[in-house]
Amino acid sequence: MDIKQINNKYFHSSEMNEAKQKGINSSIYSYRNGIMYIKVFLNSQWSKNYQVTAYEVAHNWRNNVPELKKALGAKVFIIDLHKQMNEGFNSEDGSQSVSHAKKGILFMVNQLN
Are the CB atoms for 16 and 56 separated by under 8 Å? no
Task: Provide the residue-wise pLDDT of the chain in tens; the chain has 113 residues.
Answer: 789 988 888 777 766 677 777 888 899 999 999 999 999 999 888 889 999 999 999 999 998 888 999 999 999 999 988 765 555 544 444 444 467 889 999 998 665 55
